[in-house]
Structure 1
Amino acid sequence: MFSKLFKATLITFCIFVFVFANALNAKEHPSLILTKEGVEKIRDNLGKVPLFDATVEKIKAEVDKEIALGIDTPIPKDFSGGYTHYRHKQNFVIAQQAGALYQILQDEKYAIYVRDMLLQYEAMYKDLPVHPQVRSYAPGKLFWQCLNDSNWLVFMSQAYDTIYDFLSSEEREKLENNLFRPFADYISLANPAFYNRIHNHSTWGNAAVGMIGLVMDDQALIQRALYGIQDDGLAVGGVDDDGGTIKSENQKRGFLANLEEPFSPDGYYTEGPYYQRYAMYPFLIFATAMQNKLPEYGVLQHKDNVLLKGIDALLNLTDADGDFFPLNDGQKGMSYFTPSLVTAVNIGYYYGNQNPELLSIAEKQNEVLLDQTGLAVAIGVQANMAEPYTKHSVNLSDGANGDEGGVAVLRSGQEDLTAVFKYAAQGLSHGHYDKLSFSLYRKGTEVLQDYGLVRFVNVGQKGGGNYLKENASWAKSTIAHNTLSQNQEMHFGGDYKTGSQHHSDLHFYADHDEKVQVASALETNAYPGTRMHRTIAFINANDFSEPFMLDIMKVSAKKAHDYDLPFYYFGQVIQTNFDYIKPSSLSPLGDKNGYQHLYLEATGKPSADTTQFSWLHEGKFYTLSTLTAPSDEILMTRIGANDPDFNLRSEPGVMLRRNNTQDTVFVTIVEPHGSYSPVTELSLNSNSAIKSLELLHDDKAYTAVRIEDVKGKTQLFVVSNLDAEKTREHTLTIGSKNYRWEGPYAYITAP
C-alpha cells in the first residue's frame, strides 16, 4: 500500500515539475529564436568573434539610421513596389533587428523604438479597413495580400518577444488585445482560403499565427497554427492569384501538413527552389521557436528531419555562383546570399550536427543571425573549421512520399558542366508545363536556359510588382522550355487540374562513373497517346577537351503529329552547316500556347544527317549537333513577339521541327569547346570535335547512338528502354557485332 502511494505521489510530483517548468518557460522572454541562455552566451562573446561582431555592427548601423529617421506607419495604399508597401516591410525587418540589438547590447533605445512602433500599429490597426488595392484572393490590411501581412507578423512576433519584459502589463494587454490577436484572427479565421491550404502562402500564415501564439502563450493559436482551421466553411474549387486550386476534397491544412505534403523525403519542395527559399524562413523560424518553447512536439524533427534535409537540397539546387536554378516560377539571380538562406545555413548548422561544409557557405555570405545559431556559426568560422561545400550530382525525388518524379542534377568535375533535368510533379500553382525539360550550365554561366518567371518583383511600374500576364502566356508554356512540344499544344492542354494529377517517372539514374553520368525519365500523360522517353548523359570522353552532353528524346505515338524541340541559348551565332533564310520583317511563329511570343528570325533545311549550330558566349564556344532528316526544319527564334509592354527578355533560340511523324528519336549533343579572348584576340579550338551522329538501332527495347569525332574515333551509347535494373545483363546485335553489358545503359568506345 505504501509503495503504491509513494509511486502515485512521485508521478504527481513529476507531472507538477513538468507543468511548472513549462509554465516558467512560457513566461520567459526572449524564448522564440533568441533565448535567455543564448543571449547570455552572446554577451559573453561580444568583441571576441569577428564575423558575429561585424554582423552586429552592420545591423546596428542600419537600425540606428532608421531610428534617426523616425517611425512612419503610413495608411496602406500601394501594391508591392510602392512606398507604403516598402515602409511597412522595412518596419518589420528593422523592428526584429532592433529587438535583437536590445537583448545583445542592453541599450533601451532599441526597446523604446520597437515599443513605440508597435503602439503606433496598435492605434492604426483596430480601425484599419481591408487594403484598398483589391487584386488578391486574400487581401491583407497592411499589405495588398495576406501573405505580406503574415510576413509582418512573423517578424513582429520576434520583436515583441525580445521586448516583452520591457513593456508594462498594460502595454502588453493593449498590444495583444487590439493588435496581435485581431491580426492573427484576420489572416486565419477571416481568410481561410489563404490560411487552410498546402502552399507557401499558408506556411507563412501558419507560422505567423503560431509565432505570436508562442509569445503570448496562447494554446488556441498554437494549435490553429499546427493543424489549421478544422471547419473553414470553404467550398471545393476556388482559384488563387496564380491560378491554383484553393480548396479540394479532403484538403489537408496547417503547418504540419505543409511539412508533410510539399516536401519529398529528400527535402525537395514541389514548388521549386525559388519558392522553397522563400518558404524556408517561416518553416525554420517557427520550427526553431517550437523547439525552444515546446520541444515535445518535435516540429523541427518532423518527417525524419525533412527541414534539415531541405537545406541541403536547396544548396544543391544552385549553380557554381550560388544562384538557384529557376525551376517553375523562379526569378533568376536569387541566390544563397538572400537573408532566408543565411537563416537556413545558421539553423542547419546549429541543429544539424554542425556540418563544417555549411561554414564555407556562411563565409561567403559574410553574415550571421543575431542569435545563438549565428554565434555558433561565427565561432566555427573563427576556429577555421570550415570545409568546402562540394556539390556532386544528385537526384532529388518529388512528392510527399518521393514517388512523384523528381529533379536530377548532373555535375561534371567542379561544376564544369551542370545539367538540371526536371521530371517532377506539377509544382502547385507555381508549376510550369515543362515535362522532361532541362537546362545546362557551365560553371555559373547559363548555356541552355530555363526562362524562369515573368515578374519584376517589387517594381511598382511593372504591374505593381506582381506576376504579369505573360507569365501564363509565355513562361509557363511548354514551348518556352527545352522540351518537346506536340502539335503546338501545351502539356496537359495547359490545364492546371489535369497537370496536377500526373507526374513523370524516373527510368534510371546513374552517377557512379566519373566518365559517364545518366538520368533517364518517362512521360506518358502530357499528350494522351504519346510516350516521351528522355535520356540525358554527361560523357567525359578521352579524345574531347571537355565533357559534353548527349540528349536522346524517344517519342512513341499512336498516330502522326508535328513535333517541335527548342533549345534556348545565349550569345552570338558563329556558324551553321545549313543554309537559312532571314525574312525581311519579323512575324510571330504562332498565335497561342506561347508561340505568339516567338519571332521567327530565320528558317533553314538540313544539308547533312548531322546538323550543327555553333555560338559564342562569354568567351566560350558551343556547338549543338543534332541528328536530322531531309524533311526537318531548323527555326531560329527570338522571344518578344506580342509583348507591347516589353515584359519579356529578348533572347534567342534554335528549334528543330519534325512534322507529320509518328514514332521518332531526337538525338542531340551540346558540346562546349575552345575559347575567345577580346584582350588577346585569340580564338582557340573554335570548331566542334563532332563529325557525325548516327542512330544505329532503335526499337522498343533499345536505342543505340553512334558518335564519330573529327579524328575518326567512335563512341557508342545504348539505352535499355524497358529494363532499368542495375544488375540486368543485356545482349544486343547491331549488324555483325554483338554487344554485352550490365545495367540500364552501355557506353562503348572503339579500341
Structure 2
Amino acid sequence: MSYQPLLISYEQAAELGQYVGTDSLIGLSIAEEIEALEAYMPIGIEIPGHGEAGGYEHNRHKQNYIHLDLAGRLYLITEDKRYLDYATTMLVEYAKVYKHRELNISRDSNKPGRLFHQTLNENMWMLYSSCAYSCIRHELTEDQQQLIENDLFKVMLEMFVETYAENFDIIHNHGLWSVASAGICAYAINDQATVDKAIYGLKGDSVSGGFIAQLTQLFSPDGYYMEGPYYHRFSLRPIFLFAETIERRQPEIGIYQLKDEVIKTTAYAVMSTAFPNGTLPALNDSSRTMDIKDLGILLATNICFDRYEQNETLLAMAKHQGKVWVHNTGATLSNTLENNADVANFSWGSLSLTDGSAGECGGVTILRHRDAKSDDSMALLWYGQHGSDAKLHSALDHGHFDGLHLSLFNNNQEFTHDYGYGRWVNIEPKFGGRYIPENKTYCKQTIAHNTVVVDQISQNQGVTAIAQVHNGEKHFTLLDDSKLQGMSAFARDYYPGIDQQRTVLMVELAGIEKPVIVDLFRMISEEQHSYDYPVHYTGQIVRTNFEYQGHNSLSTVGDDHGYQHLWNVGQGKVENSSLTTWLMGDSYYTLISSANENSEFIFARTGANDPDFNLRSEPMFILRQQGANHLFANVYETHGYFNEAVEASLDARGQVDSVTVLHSDDSASIVSLNLVSGKQVQVCVSNVVDVAETTENNITVDGKVISWTGAVAIFE
C-alpha cells in the first residue's frame, strides 16, 4: 500500500502490537488508552449541536475527537475491527452534517467554527480527526472516502485557510494550531497545495506565515515563549505532531534541523522551567496545576529522545511522567528506561532563558540546588516582556503585571506561589468555563504576585498597551557554584519615575539545613512612595516577633488594582526587623524582613467583592513600607519538621533571627543576616550596571571599607 498513516507506519503499528498486555511502560500506556476507548464506546455516537465553552456540546465534540484518534491508532496496533467500525461511523456521521451547520455563536473576539465557539477548538478537532482518518483510510470504500474528504475535511480547510485567512497566518499560539491542523489534514487527503500553504504560508515566503515562520519567529533564541510555560506547553502538541508528519512525508525539508534545531530548543526551554515536582510555574494566565505530564510535553519528551538525543534528563522526565506516547518513539523510550530504572529525579540545573524574538526582552532565570538527601530547591525570577502580543485583540491578552516575579520551592512544594489565572476551565456553570471577570480585576494585577506594588497601583497602571513597551533587563547571573547562586534584574519605568532592581541569592550557610534565599528588592525614586511587598503562601501562621491586631469586622485592603478583592484580616506595626513563620505540609518556613520607620504588616485573604465566589480563598501578607530610595531586605529560611500523625515537631524556630540593611545605593546593597547563634553574615551585592567578574567594589560602612570583586560576596 502506497498510502501510509500520518504518524505511524503499518510496520511500526505491528511492532507496537507486540507490547499489548505487557507490563512495560509502553505496554501499560497502550492498556490505558484501550481502557479509555472501551469505556467511551458504549456511550454511543452522538454529533451534538452548538454549545458554549465548557458546556455539554463542547465537551462531547472534544471527547469525540480524542476517542476517534484513539480508535484509529489502536485499530492499527490491535487489529480490533470494532475500533475500525467505530472510527468509520464517527467520521461518516460528522461528514453528513458538517457542511450544513451554521456557524456557532462566539461570545468574545475569537472566530467561531461550525462545532465550537472558537476556531482553536475546531482546529484541534480537525487535527486529531485527520490523524484518525489516515489510520483507517485504506479500509474505507471509495464512497466513504469521498464523503469524508469532500463534505468534512475540505469544508473545514476552506474555512480555516480562506474564510479565516487572517488567523491562518498570524504568528501566535492560535496560528500555530491553525497551520498544523490544516497541514496534517491536507496530508491526510493528499492535498499538497494546502500542505504547502501550511508549511510556507499563504504567500509562500516562510516569513509572513506558515509553520516555518511560526518556528523561526515565535520563540526567543533560547526557545522561550512570551506567554509563558502554560501556553508554551500547549504549543508543543501542534509543533511535534506536524513536524513528525512532515518528516515522514517530506523528509527533504529537514524540519527537525530547522534554525539550529529550534524544535528541540523550544521543547527544552519549557521543560526546563518545571518545578522539581513537575508542575509548571504560573507565569501570566496559567494554571497552578499544569505539569510535565501534559500531552504536549509528553510528545516532546518522546520525540526528542528519538529524534535528537537519548540523554538521562529525558529519561528522568519519562520516569516522572509515568507513561509514554503510544508510538514507536514511546517504545524506544520505554525500552531504554527499562534498562535504567534507577535514574534520579529530573533536573535541568540552574539556567537563564532570554525572552523576545532576538533575546532582547529580558527573560527568566532559575536557580536550582540538590542537597545530600536529594531534595531539590528552586527559585525563579521572571523579568521578561508582557505576556501578550500587540498584533492580537485584547481578548487574547494573557499577560500579567508582575515584572520581577519570584517563586520559591523546596521539600516538594512551592512555598511562595503565584495565584495563577482566574478561570474555571470547562466548568460551564462558572461563567461558561471562560476567564472570570476577576481574572482582570485581581489575578492580572501586581498585588496578586510576589512583586512590589507602588502606591497600591499595578505596574504600568494595569494597562496592556503601556506594559507592551516595557521589559525587564538582566543585571547578572551566578549559576555555577552550588554554595552561592544568584540572579539580578532591573525593571525600569514600570512606574513613572521609579526603577526597580531585584536580586535573589541562594546561599548555603553552615548549620542551616536548606539553602537560604536572600531577596533584595530595591526601589529607586527621587520622591516618597508607599511600597507593598506581598507574599502568597499556603499553610498556617505559627509565629511572629511583632504585635498585631486581628480584625473582627472586615474591610478591604484597598479600592482598586486588585486590593478591592483582599480582606484585611489583621495588621500591626513593625520596627527594625520582622519575623513570620508558617507551617506548610511537614516544613516550617520563616521570612525575616528589614523594616524602617512606620512599617506595617498586613494579613490578608482573597475573596472580597466577589459575589459569585469565583476567587479561591487564600491567605497572603503584605509588608508595607515608606520611602524614596528603599531596599526590602528579605531572607527565606526552610527549617524543621512536623508530623501531626505522630505528634512530632522539630526545629520550629529557624537560625536567622533578623536582617539589617547596612548600605543601599546605585553602587551596592549590603545587608547583615543576624543569626540566633550571635554570628553575622554579610551579603554584598554590586548594583553597578554591567557588573563583571573583574568589577572591584569598595563600600564604606560605619567608617570601614568593605571590598570585593565581582557581583556578589558573602562574608561569614
Name the TM-score class by shorter chain: over 0.9
- Say which is worse superposed, 514-523 or 208-217, in terms of deviation: 208-217
Q: CA deviation at 1:134?
A: 3.8
Kept in 2, the 8 Å contact 1:360–1:386? The answer is: no
Q: CA deviation at 1:694?
A: 1.8
- How far apart in 2 are the matches of 1:544 and 1:359? 33
Q: Deviations over 1:53-81 (max 9, x none)?
A: 222233223223333332111122x2233
CA distance in 2, matches of 1:187, 1:745: 54
2:214 equivalent to 1:258: yes
**What's the CA shift for 1:193?**
4.6
Deviation at 1:230, TM superposition (A): 4.6
Q: Which residue of 1 aligns with 2:130?
A: 157
Kept in 2, the 8 Å contact 1:290–1:300? The answer is no
Question: 1 CA distance for matches of 2:679 and 2:379?
Answer: 26
Equivalent runs, 1:213-228 vs 2, <5 Å: 213-228=186-201
Matched, 1:635 2:591: no
Paired residue for 2:33? 59
TM-score under structure 2 normalisation?
Answer: 0.94
Q: How does 1:204-215 map to 2 (within 5 A)?
A: 204-215=177-188
Counterpart code for 1:646 = F
Matches within 5 A, 1:477-488: 477-488=445-456
- The aligned residue for residue 561 of structure 1 is 529
Aligned counterpart in structure 2 of residue 648 of structure 1, from 607, 615, 620: 615
Deviations 1:534-578 (A, max 9, x none): 101111101323221111011111322222111111211122222
CA contact (8 A) 1:184 1:208 kept: no
Q: Residues 236-247 of structure 1: matches in 2 within 5 Å?
A: none
Equivalence for 1:701: 667
Q: Which residue of the partner structure matches residue 3 of structure 2?
A: 28
AA in 1 matched with 2:610: D
Query: Which of 455, 459, 462 is residue 494 of structure 1 equivalent to?
Result: 462
Q: Which residue of 1 aligns with 2:119?
A: 146
Q: Relative to structure 1, is the Cα distance of residues 210 and 434 closer, same or farther in structure 2, using a 3 angstrom cutoff? A: same
Kept in 2, the 8 Å contact 1:51–1:366? The answer is yes
- On the 8 A contact 2:264/2:304 being kept in 1, the answer is yes
Q: Bigger CA drift: 385-394 or 144-153?
A: 385-394
The answer to whether residue 409 in structure 2 is matched with residue 436 in structure 1 is no
1:407 has 2:368 as partner: no
- Deviation of residue 300 (structure 1)? 2.6
Decide which of 63, 83, 97 is 1:124's aligned counterpart: 97
* 1:618 shift after superposition: 1.2
Aligned to 1:426: 386
Is the CA contact (8 Å cut-off) linking 1:702 and 1:719 kept in structure 2?
yes
How far off its partner does 1:699 sit?
Answer: 2.2
Which segment is superposed worse, 725-734 or 330-339? Answer: 725-734
Task: Give unpaired runs (5+ residues) of structure 1.
Answer: 1-23, 232-249
Deviation by residue 1:216-237 (Cα, 9 ceiling, x = unmatched): 2323312322244459xxxxxx
Correspondence for 1:322 among 272, 278, 286:
278
Aligned partner (choices 308, 313, 319) of residue 352 of structure 1: 308
CA distance in 2, matches of 1:692, 1:453: 35
Change (3 A) 1:340 1:321: same
Residues 620 and 369 of structure 1: is their aligned pair in 2 closer, same or farther, counting only changes over 3 Å?
closer
Deviation at 1:703, TM superposition (A): 1.2
63-72 or 646-655, larger mean C-alpha shift: 63-72
Counterpart selection for 2:328 from 367, 372, 376: 372
Distance, in Å, in 1 between the alignment partners of 2:249 and 2:296 is: 22
Secondary structure of the structure 1 residue equivalent to 2:552:
coil
| Structure 2 unpaired stretches of 5+ | 389-396
Which deviates more from structure 2 when the two are superposed, residues 65-74 or residues 178-187? 65-74
- What CA distance in whole angstroms lies between the structure 2 residues aligned with 1:640 and 1:66? 39
Of the three residues 708, 719, 743, the one matched with 2:685 is 719
Q: Is the 8 A contact 1:566 1:653 kept in 2?
A: yes
Does 1:82 find its partner at 2:55? yes
Q: Which residue of 2 aligns with 1:105?
A: 78
Contact (CA 8 Å) 2:579, 2:658: kept in 1 or not? no
Deviation, structure 1 residue 135: 3.5
Is the Cα–Cα contact under 8 Å of residues 417 and 441 in structure 1 kept in the other structure?
yes
Report deviation, 1:452: 0.5
Q: Which amino acid aligns with 1:503?
A: N
Q: How does 1:529-568 map to 2 (within 5 A)?
A: 529-568=497-536
Supply the AA of the counterpart residue of 2:44: G
| Paired letter, 1:54 | L
Contact 1:605 1:630 in 2 (8 A): no
Q: For the residues of structure 2 that align with 1:515 and 1:532, how far apart are their CA atoms? A: 27
CA contact under 8 A between 1:146 and 1:194: conserved in structure 2? no
Out of 482, 492, 514, the position equivalent to 2:482 is: 514
Equivalent position of 2:149 in the other structure: 176
1:194-213 maps to which residues of 2 (within 5 A)?
A: 194-213=167-186
Give the drift of 1:258: 2.3
Task: Tell me which residue corresponds to 2:232.
Answer: 276
Q: What is the Cα deviation at residue 713 of structure 1?
A: 0.8
Letter in 2 for 1:203: L
Aligned partner (choices 325, 332, 351) of residue 394 of structure 1 = 351
TM-superposed CA distance for 1:489, in Å, is 1.4
Distance in 2 separating the partners of 1:386 and 1:376: 17
On the 8 A contact 1:566/1:656 being kept in 2, the answer is: yes
User: Which string of whole-angstrom CA distances, capped at 9 and with x for unpartnered residues, describes residues 380-413 of structure 1?
Assistant: 2233377332342221221222221111111222
User: Given that residues 319 and 443 in structure 1 are in contact (C-alpha distance below 8 angstroms), is that contact kept between their aligned partners in structure 2?
Assistant: no
Aligned-residue CA RMSD in angstroms?
Answer: 2.1
- Aligned-pair distance for 1:50? 2.5
User: Deviation at 1:732?
Assistant: 3.2
Preserved contact between residue 447 and residue 534 of structure 2 (Cα < 8 Å): yes
Bigger Cα displacement from structure 2, 389-398 vs 190-199: 190-199
How many residue pairs align between the two structures? 702
Residues 259-268 or 565-574, more deviating = 259-268
Measured in 2, the distance between the counterparts of 1:61 and 1:685 equals: 48
| TM-score relative to the length of structure 1 | 0.90
Structure with higher Rg: it is 1
2:651, 2:105 → 1: CA distance? Answer: 61
Q: Which amino acid aligns with 1:94?
A: H
Q: Does the 8 Å CA contact 2:19/2:27 hold for their aligned counterparts? A: no
- Asked whether the equivalents of residues 49 and 382 of structure 1 are also in contact (C-alpha less than 8 Å), the reply is no
Partner Cα distance (1:134, 1:706) in 2? 55
